[in-house]
A and B are shown apart, each in its own frame.
Chain A
Amino acid sequence: MNNIANDIIEVKDLKVYFDMSRGFLEEILAKEKRQVKAVDGIDLNIKKGEIVSLVGESGSGKTTIGKAILHLVEKTGGNIFFKGEEIDPKNNKEMRLFRQKAQMIFQDPYQSLNPRDIIIDIISEPLEVNKLVKTEAEKRERVVRALEWAGLKPAEDYLYRYPHELSGGQRQRVAIAGALVLEPEFIVADEPVSMLDVSIRADILRLMLNQCRQKGTSYLFITHDLSLAWLISDRIATVYLGKIVEIGDARLMVGKSVHPYTKALVSVMPVPKVRKDRKMTILEGETPNPINIPSGCRFHPRCPNVMGKCRESEPELIEIEPGHFAACHLCSPHNINKKGPRS
């Protein structure tokens, strides 16, 4: 049982491993199955009405975390609590109820809408599947309401159109309306604006924020755009190779971060300003392959501040100040006493 009543989602030591396909010879020789450790032990909680962002490079496991929390991919280990209860993904009845309460918004509005359905059918599908509406009139009313929440007004104009008749921004609003129609309490938004023009991003984000404030909907916002994470999140978690390496409030993005990885990401964040004196920490290479996770601290091969200890032991997430955790040997209490946390 969960003792903090207002947590919508609580994740404990979540692990998602994918099996690699083996070659014929490996199969015969019964070699050990190799696994991709996409998510490798994550603790996270999201409160009612809170927006938590996951930031990191592609391949860091951000999307897999989101999908695992919604039971869209099978977890390998750990516990996921929804409002204090652990859901059994094999129990259809429980899952059906959970699906009504937790929804996902996908990145690409060009691929997430069925091109052969009209908007009213796309949005009403979850209502019909869950037998939540009895009459046509009721169905129509709920779809209209969802479209209006998503900012498509007048909603009647959109009901009988096909996705291809809409612009990218309108499609993403339809996708959002589809997620909102069941009035969920928790939404995973996976890069919801990265395919959209800057000029309409703000509208979509404002929509999410309003939902959050008015209805107390909680969000897990997955993005690689740090400035957007800063803009809308209550808390931000930096993910590297399937682990959270730092988590804290939005000020992480404006100089409060202590983990070298978060610091490097922040240092290269593009901003519409000319800064000649800007010092960028450009990390070499790309996120390593999660099949062979480096020993010790998984960030050590790319870390500008690497020490001997980092190669041997894996740092744990420790609280640096209230609500701000980082997993780095540089910030361990031992080092803090010696030279302060932010050297």
Chain B
Amino acid sequence: MDILKVRDLKTYFKIKAGTVKAVDGVSFTLKEGESLGLVGESGCGKTTIALSITQLLPPEGLIAGGEIYFEGTNLLKLNEEEIRAKRWKDISIIFQGAMNALNPVMRVGDQISEACVYHEGMSYDSARKRVKELFSLVEIDESRIDDYPHEFSGGMKQRAVIAMALACGPKIVIGDEPTTALDVMIQAQILQLLNRLRKEMDMSMIIITHDLSILGETCDKVAVVYAGKIVEIGEVETIYEEHTHPYTEKLVKAFPNIFGKREMTASIPGMPPNLINPPAGCRFHPRCEHATEKCRLVEPKLKLIGGEHYVACHLRGDNDE
């Protein structure tokens, strides 16, 4: 069963210099219980996709087109009140930078119970009870419920933010860089926790990250995002081992391969394009060493090249309509 279907999503930001096409025609499907990774360089539109799904865009952000179906209902057709009923109860976010996501002058327990009080209409006492359950779920000692965020370590703050995202038993949790800025060991603990929670609570998950190397432990499928578009999507093993898009290849190669020879990794030449005036044709062509005339003129579409593996590149799967 598909729980979330995003079709041709376009999210633009209107700023003084023009319109930034941060997300420009993104489509993907999330199955029930599945975990999807969105990976790409900074500024490629990963977080904007998440904010569009939950409709938490800043005022200058605007969803210019497309559909987002959650269990069959188009979220973009709902009014603010109806969205608010779904947000957090059905779809919640673990925000980037747990260090700054908590209110420093409010007790951690109160911040989490607030979500239960607002979204589920719980009484303060039963919300507190729920928070204690959530704390044990994310492995924080119950006695810390009345602590302030500064009394928590980095890893514990991250757990608290996860507890907050789980407060209303959502069906989809979106993790925006859930382990960035954490230590290796804490990162492993958090990833293990997310995996366990996904299975125990029967949730679907979207993990947004720039770190391709953590996806193997957490995701079933991976979508590689470049300049506001998905350029390749497939099972995580396919993306690691049998990727065909030149950008994915460069992204994978940018990580040291400790199973291979000790040689310097390659960087990706050039910079991601300006999204006010993205390059014509394939958006990756200025940085691609295989670019041909066609790549400069015609934009490649995502094409199925086997299994659940889609790629948008003229050089691969050249079955043009």
Contact present for B258 and A253 (CB under 8 Å) = yes
Contact with B along A262-282 (1 / 0, CB 8 A): 001100111111110000101
Contact present for A197 and B42 (CB under 8 Å) = yes
Contact present for B153 and A268 (CB under 8 Å) = no
Interface size on B, residues (CB 8 A): 41
CB distance from B135 to the nearest CB of A (A): 16
Contact present for B189 and A282 (CB under 8 Å) = yes
- Is A201 interfacial (CB 8 A cutoff)? yes
A15 to B154, CA, bound (A): 26
- Is A250 interfacial (CB 8 A cutoff)? yes
- Is A314 interfacial (CB 8 A cutoff)? no
Contact present for A273 and B251 (CB under 8 Å) = no
Contact present for B255 and A269 (CB under 8 Å) = no
A-binding segment of B78-86, B99-107, B115-123, B211-219: B211-219
Please pick, from A58, A197, A230, the residue contacting B262 in the complex, using a CB distance under 8 A: A230
Contact present for A271 and B213 (CB under 8 Å) = yes
Q: For chain B, residues 231 to 278, give those with C-beta under 8 angstroms from any C-beta of chain A.
A: 236-237, 240-241, 250-252, 254-259, 262, 264-268, 271
A226 to B236, CA, bound (A): 23
Q: For chain A, residues 184 to 228, give those with C-beta under 8 angstroms from any C-beta of chain B.
A: 197-203, 205-206, 209, 224-228
- Is B136 interfacial (CB 8 A cutoff)? no
- Is B185 interfacial (CB 8 A cutoff)? yes
Cβ contacts under 8 Å, A265 to chain B: 184-185
Cβ contacts under 8 Å, A199 to chain B: 41, 250-251, 254, 267-268
Contact present for A198 and B211 (CB under 8 Å) = yes
Contact present for A202 and B185 (CB under 8 Å) = no
Q: For chain B, residues 161 to 202, give those with C-beta under 8 angstroms from any C-beta of chain A.
A: 183-189, 192
Q: For chain A, residues 276 to 310, give those with C-beta under 8 angstroms from any C-beta of chain B.
A: 280, 282-284, 286
Q: Beyond A205-B264, A264-B185, is A230–B216 a contact (Cβ under 8 Å)?
A: no
- Is B210 interfacial (CB 8 A cutoff)? yes
Cβ contacts under 8 Å, A253 to chain B: 258
Interface size class of A (residues with CB under 8 A): 35 or more
Contact present for A202 and B254 (CB under 8 Å) = yes
Cβ contacts under 8 Å, A58 to chain B: 154, 183
- Is A254 interfacial (CB 8 A cutoff)? yes
CB distance from A214 to the nearest CB of B (A): 15
Cβ contacts under 8 Å, B215 to chain A: 272
Cβ contacts under 8 Å, B192 to chain A: 280, 282
- Is A57 interfacial (CB 8 A cutoff)? yes
Cβ contacts under 8 Å, B262 to chain A: 230-231, 250
CB distance from A302 to the nearest CB of B (A): 9
Cβ contacts under 8 Å, A197 to chain B: 41-42, 210
- Is A167 interfacial (CB 8 A cutoff)? yes
A232 to B264, CA, bound (A): 8
Cβ contacts under 8 Å, A274 to chain B: 216, 236-237, 240
A78 to B258, CA, bound (A): 36
Cβ contacts under 8 Å, A198 to chain B: 41, 210-212, 251, 254-255
Q: For chain B, residues 300 to 319, give those with C-beta under 8 angstroms from any C-beta of chain A.
A: none
Cβ contacts under 8 Å, A270 to chain B: 184, 187, 211, 213-214, 216-217
Cβ contacts under 8 Å, B183 to chain A: 57-58, 224, 286
Contact present for A272 and B216 (CB under 8 Å) = yes
A25 to B211, CA, bound (A): 49
Please pick, from A57, A200, A227, A275, the residue contacting B256 in the complex, using a CB distance under 8 A: A227
Cβ contacts under 8 Å, A224 to chain B: 183-184
- Is B61 interfacial (CB 8 A cutoff)? no
Cβ contacts under 8 Å, A232 to chain B: 264
- Is B109 interfacial (CB 8 A cutoff)? no
Cβ contacts under 8 Å, A200 to chain B: 267-268
Query: Can you name the residue of chain B whose Cβ is closest to the Cβ of A168?
Result: B42
A253 to B262, CA, bound (A): 11
A181 to B94, CA, bound (A): 43
Contact present for B186 and A167 (CB under 8 Å) = no
CB distance from A278 to the nearest CB of B (A): 8
- Is B155 interfacial (CB 8 A cutoff)? yes
Cβ contacts under 8 Å, A273 to chain B: 216, 240-241, 259
Query: Can you name the residue of chain B whose Cβ is closest to the Cβ of A58?
Result: B183
A271 to B216, CA, bound (A): 8
Interface centre among B192, B212, B256, B262 (most CB of A within 10 A): B256
A230 to B154, CA, bound (A): 26
Contact present for B185 and A272 (CB under 8 Å) = no
CB distance from B254 to the nearest CB of A (A): 4
Cβ contacts under 8 Å, A272 to chain B: 212-213, 215-216, 240, 252, 255, 257
CB distance from B100 to the nearest CB of A (A): 15
Query: Can you name the residue of chain A whose Cβ is closest to the Cβ of B44?
Result: A197
Cβ contacts under 8 Å, B267 to chain A: 199-203, 206
Cβ contacts under 8 Å, B210 to chain A: 197-198
CB distance from A94 to the nearest CB of B (A): 37
Query: Can you name the residue of chain B whose Cβ is closest to the Cβ of A199?
Result: B268
A57 to B256, CA, bound (A): 20
Interface centre among B184, B185, B255, B266 (most CB of A within 10 A): B185
Query: Can you name the residue of chain B whose Cβ is closest to the Cβ of A268?
Result: B188
Cβ contacts under 8 Å, B214 to chain A: 270
Contact present for A282 and B188 (CB under 8 Å) = yes
CB distance from A255 to the nearest CB of B (A): 10
Cβ contacts under 8 Å, A203 to chain B: 267
Chain A to chain B: the 7 pairs with minimum beta-carbon distance, closest first: A268-B188, A202-B267, A199-B268, A270-B213, A227-B256, A231-B256, A198-B254
13 contacts between A and B (CB under 8 A): A58-B183, A198-B212, A199-B41, A199-B267, A199-B268, A202-B265, A254-B258, A269-B184, A270-B213, A271-B255, A271-B257, A280-B188, A282-B185
Given A57-B185, A268-B187, A270-B214, 9 additional A-B pairs, CB 8 A? A198-B211, A202-B266, A225-B184, A227-B255, A268-B184, A269-B184, A272-B216, A272-B252, A272-B255
Residues in A lying within 8 Å of B, measured CB to CB:
57-58, 167, 197-203, 205-206, 209, 224-228, 230-232, 250, 253-254, 264-265, 268-275, 280, 282-284, 286
